[in-house]
Structure formats: structure tokens, C-alpha cells
Amino acid sequence: MEMCYKILGEGKLVTQRELFYKLLSDSPKYFSCQRHVNQTIQDVVSLLRCTRQSLGIMASSRGALIGRLVLHEPEEEHIDCSILGPSGHAITGDLNQLSRLNLSSDARYLILVEKDAIFQRLAEDRLYNQLPCILITAKGYPDIATRFILHRLSQTFPNMPIFALVDWNPAGLSILCTYKYGSISMGLESYRYGIPLDDQSMIKPIFQNGINEILQFQLAM
């Protein structure tokens, strides 16, 4: 808590990894590994019923998105995600910055992609030009920042169906459920970024038939 108070006093944000190195230097007796720091942060967040961001801790993000989406940052140039390379637009870990974004889109679908390799293949093929959609990935298990921007998209475009392209195995279902319901391992904070059960844009899993299932869904509309 003392370290978080110091970070907030300096008006900075740090990742959990950066916080670990600060604590390792300051209090090596109590924090000898990253796991201890992560668990302590989770306990503090649960105890205070606050977010990591309010403690000066920024989410580490691996996520990216691409497709029929324009990001408008206050006093910054807009970012057209439909003209980017196959790696897409990297999602920042600063939740405050993500919350300030103005989002505009003519997409009809939002597709979550579990694996980065699949995401890049779909981006290379410019799937979103054939099927008006937004592609988003956390490159594996979903991080807070990726889930936050997904939550914002679902709130901004409540009638846009959300599909999840995941493996047909327990790990894929676990990733799907984390996006949809949240994760116990991330504490109380996690559930703020799930997709509510009464949301019109319920997540629909895609398994063996993949993108063909979405195309059939589009033709049926």
C-alpha cells in the first residue's frame, strides 16, 4: 500500500511486473516472486473493493484489434482500424485512456479470436472487408484491458452480435467463459468487464465450423 501511495503521489502508472521489481528492490524479504505480488494485489483489490487502476497499477495488455472500427482519442488523430497491418492496433493497458475513446463502427459482428496466429491470418485476408466485422484477440487467456475494451464495445453497440472463435476443448471454453462471466482469479474487479447475461449481444461460441457459421448466420438474416 505504501508503494501504491507513492506511485499515485507521483501521478504515474506501473504494470504488475514493474511493481514487482520496485518491491523486490524495496522489500525483498516479503516479495520474492511475481506470484506473491499478484496475489497481494488481488487481495488488496478485494479488500478495498477498488480497481487496480485506482491503485496506480496498469493492466498489462497483449490484446489487439482490427476491422471496421474507428478510434477517436481526445485531442489526437483518429485511428482507422480497417487500414492497419495484420498485427492490428495494440490495446493499451491504461484503462483510463480506453474509457476516453470515442468509438464508431459500421460493423455487423464482433469476433473474438483466441489465437494470435488465427487473428493475423484473418487480418491478412481482410476478412472484415468481406464480412463487416471487428476482430479482437487477447492472444490467449483474456487480460483486463482486452476485456475492458470488449465491454465498452458491447455497451456502445448493444445490437452487435459477439462471436468467439475458440478451440473445442476445456481451455477454449474457459477462455469463452472468462470473456462472458469474468474470472475468480482476477477478484471482484473482473466481473465489471463481463458481458451481462441480459445483454442483447450475447457471446456465441464458434467451434468446428468457424467462420462459415458466421457467414451462414449472415445469410439467414
Which residue, 25, 12, 2, 17, is CA-closest to 56?
Answer: 12
Give the count of beta carbons closer than 10 Å to the beta carbon of residue 182.
20
Answer yes or no: are the C-beta atoms of 177 and 125 closer than 8 Å: no
Answer yes or no: are the C-beta atoms of 127 and 120 closer than 8 Å: no
**Catalytic: which of 5, 21, 30, 179?**
21
Across-strand partners of 4?
A: none
Phi, psi of 32 (to 5 degrees): -95, -10
The region, left, alpha or beta by phi > 0 then psi within -120 to 50, assigned to residue 176 is: alpha
Q: Is 191 a catalytic residue?
A: no
Contacts of 221 (CB under 8 A, 6+ apart): none
Query: Which residues are tagged catalytic?
Result: 21
